[in-house]
Structure 1
Amino acid sequence: MKYWLYRLAASDPGRKRLRTASKVTLSVISSVGVMLLIVLNAGGQVTAAIFAGLIGMMGILVVNDDTEKEKKATTLLIGISSAFSVGFGSLLAKWGFAADFFLLLVVFLALYLQRFGSRYFSICMIAFMSFYFVTLLKVGFPQVPWLLLSILTGITFAYLYNFILIKDNPDEVLKRSMDSFHIQANLTLYLVSDIVRDINLEKKRLANLDRNVQKLGDYARVVSNELGSTDPGCIWPGLSTTQMRLYIFDTAMLMETLSPTIRRLKEHHALQNTAIRAALLQVIQSIREAEVLNTNQMHHLENAAASVQSLRSLLRTLKPDETNREWLYLIRRLESIANHIIDGAFELQQSLQQENKQNNPDTGKENDDEEEKKNEEETGLRPTTKKAIQAIIAGGLAILAGHLYSPAHQYWILLSCFVVLLGTETVGGTLVKALQRSVGTFLGAIAGFLIALLLTGIQEVVVLFLCVFMAFYLLPISYTLMMFWITMLLALMYDILLGGITEQVMAARVIDTIAGVGLGFIVSALIFPQKTRDKVTTSTTDYLDALKEYVNRYIDRFNKEQTDYNLADHALELDQKLQTLITDASPLYRGWFGRTGLQQQLTVLTAANFYAKQLVASSTRKSLLNTNSQFEELLDHVQRSLSGNIEALSSAVKGESQVRIVDLEKEREQLERIPEESKSSEQDMINHLRLLHNIHYVWRINESIVYLAKQLGAESEKSDQNAAGERGAAQL
């Protein structure tokens, strides 16, 4: 029970979902309540109160500008847009074709004008919903003043909750995100402790550990994104973005390494060694107790450092032999990453405790303003234009279908068609969203119909507001769940507005939804289709380009080249690019199209990403890397070959033929034999072993790249260096 309470506490990093859902719900309740009091005392209609709730909701949801100043301006502009739309809707209601044309124009502009900023989409979106409401309830011109008052009420409460009462505070969001990250990290360590104590290998526990590690990775990306726009020094004086990101990276990497390592240790029966098991438990427990950002708990951090030192001392007493060779290096890797965490934590503590610290610019914050933005000239139509054309064609067909098959609710099909095209870039993405919307609507219609029959009066109103909260609290988690609650909400609204709800009304809602999403999918597949595989190819090559730069910058360290390239920051960015690739590919590998080798491709790239992060997590950071000319020359050749292999894999992913890759096993052997060939001293041998340890995962990355390239049709060839050596041997 305690475990699930902690999971619940950590489940909403920064409490963003809670804040958004709370603001929306309170805005709806306040808008509806105030307008209800007005209309009941002044002889108006209840529809005005419902419309005020809609505006109060939209006034928060559709405002997505970058700055608070821009958000405030957009909030006022959407009120004006809604007012014009209500006026046009009441005037054009008599001329059906004119109303249809106006709606299609709004749909087109909503998608086309996105290229100029989110504000224009917000203005058009609320215009669409306002016009939709007016036509749905057949509002006449005499009712317009009431609706204008509803707009004023809804916008007022949206502004009040969004910018005054529940104002977003970036510092608070970052602090709460860090709290979620720490809670999840401690939960993960708690699970690891239980697994280490139990000598038996239980797959259920390991699977649960994997899920928690994945969740921690998600939280790490959230915190990293927050650090991109919020200075941690405002919350924890003295700390820089670089320090925080490095600490987050090390902690996430320790957890990510623990899961497969503990599994392998159990398979090799390493934890049957009482001393090893006790030392690992002590390290895990001490790291759990260390409150890194609390300067009053320094002794816990000192205990953690002592436990890591004890583990290191124990490892020195164990000499590799047949009984421990398979698992000894695994524990050494854990010790290395844990040591990185402790070192980073001490640096954070020292920065926090420094007094009279100079307010220097944060060197860890990326200079986004100085980065060159690539403004590639696009040939042909822009994506926003294509999407707008798709929407206007699908919308025209939806309106025609609505007039023919659902004249009582002629715009239901249009609404579903419009929404399913929003935010989807590919045909596969549109299909997935269409299925999610259909399933959510179907289940929500059943639940809403039953609840409307069981509840009456104030009970329905309470459940209606609950539906608002749940819909927008769960939106970032599942679109299907959001649609379930939204459809329940609509069922209750229809029951309140129309004085009752029937099976026919809810069945028509489900059928119209399916028809609308079906039209949206068909048009996206036939008009300017963006194939999911093309999108996956683009995302894959973007990831490989970033991986190549990352590995090159890492290897540059051995050639004593000075660089301000922050490897931990860019490792987190690599993680984000991989997540984008997985998201783009999900319609293929999760649907009916998924057994085509794409899952294997993602698995191999995930492994390569893990090895890339291990380069930073498992390597020496502070001490200088002493290399010789022979090592540098060989490693330089390895760097060029690995870069060529990554480029070759990109070509193979794009479907190009005659792609060739290089196997670097010979170069690996040559690097390992350098001390023997040069008859190095014992100290040189130790230094060389450290160098080999630092580049161990370079070989693993290359193995992954070569394997995947071969699976995609690439052919192996000998490296230039090996080919030259073989030609020389043949001549002799």
Structure 2
Amino acid sequence: MPDSPAEVHDPLRAARASGVDRLLQEFRDARDRFVASDPGWARLRQGVRAIVAVGSTLLVEFALAQLLGEPALLGMLLGAVVAMLMSTGIRDEHRRVIALTAGAAPFAAAGGASLGVLTAEQHLLGLVTFVLVSFGAVWIRRFGPRWFTLGFLLWQGFFFALLLHPPVSSLPFLLIAIAVSGVWVGGLLLTVLFEDPQGRLLRIVTALRARARSGIAAAVGVLDEPRDPRAIRQLRRQLIQLSEIALLLDGRLADRRALPEGVPPARMRRWTVDFEIGMDEVAGATVDIATRLTDVPPATVAVVRQVLTALGWADAGRAVSAAEQIDLTDESNVPAVRRLASAALFLLETVRRWDSGELRSPAPAGTDGPADILDEDEGFEPVVNLIGGNLPGSALLAQQTIERVDAGRWSPSRMRLTTRQAIQAGVAAGLAIVAGEAISTQRFYWAVIAAFVAFAGTATSGETLQKGASRIVGTVLGLVGAVGLADLVNGHKGVAIAAILGCVFLAFFLQQLSYGLMVFFITVMLGQLYTLLGSYSDELLLVRLAETVAGAAIGILVSLLVLPTHSRATLRVARQSFLGSLGDLLEACAVTLEGQVPERDLLTLTVSLDAGGRQLVRTRRALTKGRLFGADRAGLRHRITVLGSCGASARTVAASISGARPDAGLARASRELAAEARRLGDLPHLGQPGESGPGEVTALHRVRSLLEEVPPDNRIALHALRRLNEALALLGPRSVVAPSV
């Protein structure tokens, strides 16, 4: 007999359901990637601030020009430049600081524009002034982030005076236009563009959770493709990005305005650290299961996949049921299976504390000491000092590299990083003027700006090399886009202005994601700007390309040859700092396990370790991407991965111990590992054959023996210390590392 209609259509319904599920999963993953890629909507707000400030300033400057009977285009363009730099450069979160910086900004821009206009008649004087302005704009950065913006306004004021060629008679109007733009944008920053600190923190928490879901999806990928190294690398990238969001969140805790009502900063820090530990444990257990997949029964693998899938979909009920089911179905001898279940339950409990509002509830009376400490508002120690709401770069590490007593290269007077970069910027500007004038006496300033910006936001030669290369690539591709867009616009001023505003938004929205993409859209924008000025031509764009290549190359060479701050030396300092922080955390763990109170609390030391790990990764990226000649990239990545594993294990130890439960055996093991971390930090290099004696073996076996004698009362800390011991051993000469038994 034929099948019934319902039976016939069941496969179709199943196929449709499967297709819908796949679409939902793709949509969810895309949403999570977008939210996680822009914690707190920082990049989106940056783009919106730029387009609102520039667009409204164009209208204000047009009205001003009509009122005064002056040419509109000149004032509109200069006012728009001031608006763009102020809206993207002034990122303080206190109205008083914003008002002070916004009040000083027009004076900086007016000073640069005045120098540019007044010295333009004397060509040699103008060139010398350009070099001095380049030096001064970088030198004043020593006074703080606010002065970075003011220095850039000074330099750009001079630059656009060269670009627009205004006559001296127009200078009074230009100064009025700059002042009006400054007042207008300052008002915007204090009102409609002012950001609510608490709203931003809540959006960062949302981004943290979205990144965690992306990490869970990557963990499922490792389980599906256990032999694919790309899957493991993807999971590690997700964990690194999760750690960066956690640090960004911690950096905002010192601002009491950002905290939800009733949540002390220390309690919020503990929640963030717990969340990161939960993800570390889930990811680590998944990798361990994948490496021994043949030893795990298929039924258990299916339940593990259910746990991960439910975590990824934020389905707490299913995840808890699947994790608890592991106790009933696990017949393997793979400890990572039960470790995954415990980690999943811990992560779910951490999320529940946030969703339920438990973090806002004060600790009940009669709780133990640590809970009372977390409820204290006073004595909170900030670890990460955000700059403009973002995580800091590598400037502090570069300065430490310069100040090292055993620095391998001549460092005249151990001068500050800002002074060295100011000298580099001045030398690069002078050389770029010579090279630029050899290409075009009218457009030489494009070479100067390419050389100058190579020292904006960089601290090492590797970062400068990477930025210069990105500028060249972005310019080449941007010229192609500019030519195509110019043909489409074809003289329509309204469309050209809209295209300029769109490029401004995209440039600053993508700035932190990719400097090359920012340069691409800035180049396209300049093509439209030349269209409005009536000087657009394909030949002009080719001249810009030649000038940019020359300027970027000069910036790179100057960073490598004139008072260089080398990336490899900076990486060595980052590694030593990280291992020192690891030793401090383990020493504090030992003190806690002895029933005493350490000088610095474990949470603060844990976040300090995370911050050191981020600097390691950041500096390694500049080194492996930016070196001109061969580098042991695979070896570097391996050592950074091992150091990251050390950090994750130490975090787990710190979170799982308490002074109320002393353990002499764990304390001795922690102190041994602290000494070993500091010893490795004192080595000039890690993993060099024959450079060290049998110290690694002695430390490895000594800690193994200590841990074998420890009763399994605290399994989490015990297993974490074992993993940490094995990881530290990998950083020594491989030939002397004994296999684990």
Whole-angstrom distance in 1 between the partners of 2:227 and 2:449? 53
Give the aligned residue type for 1:707: L
**Aligned residue among 486, 503, 508 for 1:467:** 503
Matched, 1:571 2:624: no
Which of 502, 526, 529 does residue 490 from structure 1 map onto? 526
Change (3 A) 1:178 1:123: same
1:17 has 2:43 as partner = yes
Tell me the equivalent position of 1:362: 377
- Displacement after TM superposition at 1:476 (Å): 0.5
Q: Does 1:180 align with 2:207?
A: yes
**Residue 140 (structure 1) aligned to one of 151, 162, 167:** 167
Report 1:425-440 matches (<5 A).
425-440=459-474
Segments of structure 1 that go 5 or more residues without pairing to the other structure are 291-299, 675-686, 718-732
Equivalent position of 2:718 in the other structure: 695
- Return the alpha-carbon distance in structure 2 between the equivalents of residues 206 and 651 of structure 1: 26
Displacement of 1:691 in angstroms is: 4.7
Q: Take 1:531 and 1:654, find their aligned partners in 2: how far apart are those partners?
A: 21
Aligned to 1:471, the other structure's residue is in SS state: helix
The structural deviation recorded for 1:308 is: 8.1
Inter-CA distance 633–539: structure 2 relative to 1 (3 Å threshold): closer
> Which amino acid counterpart does residue 330 of structure 1 have in structure 2?
A
Residue 556 of structure 1: aligned partner: 591
**Partner of residue 328, structure 2:** 314
Deviation at 1:507, TM superposition (A): 0.6
Does structure 1 conserve the Cα–Cα contact (< 8 Å) formed by 2:586 and 2:674?
no
> Structure 2 residue aligned with 1:352, among 360, 375, 397?
360
Q: Quote how far apart the aligned CAs of 1:200 are.
A: 9.4
Within 1, Cα distance between the matches of 2:341 and 2:159?
Answer: 62
> Which residue number corresponds to residue 402 of structure 1?
436
For residue 120 of structure 2, what is the aligned residue in structure 1? Answer: 93
Amino acid at match of 1:609: G
Q: Which residue of 1 aligns with 2:676?
A: 642
Superposition deviation, residue 431 in structure 1: 1.3
In structure 2, how many angstroms separate the alpha carbons of the residues matched to 1:503 and 1:286? 54
Structure 2 counterparts to residues 609-688 of structure 1, below 5 A: 609-617=644-652, 620-621=656-657, 624-625=660-661, 627=663, 631=665, 635=669, 638-639=672-673, 641-643=675-677, 645-649=679-683, 661-663=695-697, 664-671=699-706, 674=709, 688=711
Instruction: Decide whether aligned partners of structure 1 residues 669 and 355 sit closer, same or farther in structure 2, where only a CA change above 3 A counts.
Output: closer
Structure 2 SS opposite 1:415: helix
| Shift in Å, 1:553 | 1.8
Choose which of 416, 420, 428 in structure 1 pairs with 2:450. Answer: 416
- Given the alignment, which residue of 264, 281, 285 partners 1:261? 285
For the pair shown, which has the larger CA radius of gyration, 1 or 2? 1
Q: 1:116 aligns with which of 143, 152, 155?
A: 143
Opposite residue 334 of structure 1, the aligned amino acid is: L
Q: CA deviation at 1:209?
A: 5.2
Tell me, what secondary structure is at the counterpart of 1:512? Answer: helix
Residue in structure 1 matched with residue 543 of structure 2 by the alignment: 508
Deviations 1:7-65 (A, max 9, x none): 32443211111112111111111111232344357352422211111111122233356
The SS at the match of 1:463 is: helix
Query: Do the aligned partners of 1:337 and 1:617 also contact (CA within 8 Å) in 2?
Result: no
Q: Normalized against structure 2, the TM-score is what?
A: 0.81
Aligned partner (choices 632, 635, 658) of residue 600 of structure 1: 635
Could you say which residue in structure 2 is the equivalent of 1:677? none
Conserved? CA contact 1:420–1:433, under 8 Å: yes
Paired with 2:501 and 2:384, the residues of 1 have a C-alpha distance of 43
Deviation at 1:210, TM superposition (A): 5.3
Match of 1:324 in 2: 332
Summarize deviations over 1:366-388 as a string: whole Å, max 9, x none.
16799xx9999964322222211
2:249 aligned with 1:229, yes or no?
no
Query: How far off its partner does 1:396 sit?
Result: 1.6
Alignment partner of 2:263 out of 239, 249, 273: 239
Give distance in 2, aligned partners of 1:145 and 1:613.
60
Residue 709 to residue 596, structure 1, CA distance change in 2 (3 Å): farther
> Kindly tell me: are residues 435 and 655 of structure 1, through their superposed partners in 2, closer, same or farther at Cα, counting changes over 3 Å?
farther
Q: Distance in 1 between matches of 2:286 and 2:686?
A: 36
Q: 1:157 aligns with which of 167, 184, 202?
A: 184
Cα distance between partner residues in 2 of 1:275 and 1:639:
35
Residue equivalent to 1:337? 343
- Measure the CA separation in 1 of the matches of 2:218 and 2:691: 48
Which secondary structure state, in structure 1, belongs to the residue aligned with residue 121 of structure 2?
Answer: coil
Q: Identity of aligned pairs, percent?
A: 21
Distance in 1 (alpha carbons) for counterparts of 2:466 and 2:308: 45
Say how many residue pairs are matched: 676
Following the alignment from structure 2 to structure 1, what is the Cα–Cα distance between the partners of residues 675 and 375?
41
Contact 1:32 1:53 (8 Å CA) reproduced: yes
Aligned-partner Cα distance in 2 for 1:180–1:63: 24
Please state how far the C-alpha of 1:248 moved relative to its aligned partner.
2.4
Q: Is the 2:39–2:203 contact (alpha carbons within 8 Å) kept by the matching residues of 1?
A: yes
1:447 corresponds to: 481
CA distance in 1, matches of 2:516, 2:546: 17
CA RMSD, aligned part only?
3.8
CA distance in 2, matches of 1:416, 1:334: 51
- Pair 59,591 (structure 1): closer, same or farther in 2 beyond 3 Å: closer
Distance 2:226 2:695 in 1: 43
Cα deviation for residue 415 of structure 1 reads 1.4
Question: Amino acid of the residue matched to residue 127 of structure 1?
Answer: L
Aligned pair 1:31/2:62, yes or no? no
Structure 2: stretches of 5+ with no match in the other structure: 1-25, 366-371, 386-395, 404-412
More displaced 10-residue stretch of structure 1: 434-443 or 517-526: 517-526
More deviation, 38-47/615-624: 615-624
Deviations 1:213-251 (A, max 9, x none): 44433322322222243466x42x332223323322333
2:299 pairs with one of 250, 255, 274:
274
1:123-134 map, 5 Å: 123-134=150-161
Aligned AA for 1:71?
I
Alpha-carbon distance change, 153 to 413 in structure 1, aligned in 2, over 3 angstroms: same
Pair 210,388 (structure 1): closer, same or farther in 2 beyond 3 Å: closer
Query: Secondary structure of 2:44's partner?
Result: helix
Task: Give the deviation of 1:475 after TM superposition.
Answer: 0.3
Q: Give the Å deviation of 1:436.
A: 0.6
Counterpart secondary structure, 2:414: coil
Q: Deviations over 1:523-559 (max 9, x none)?
A: 2222212222111111111111111112222233332
Q: Deviations over 1:589-640 (max 9, x none)?
A: 2355575335424423322332432344377446954546xx3795377346
Q: Secondary structure of 2:457's partner?
A: coil
Alignment CA distance shift 1:309-1:448 (3 Å): closer
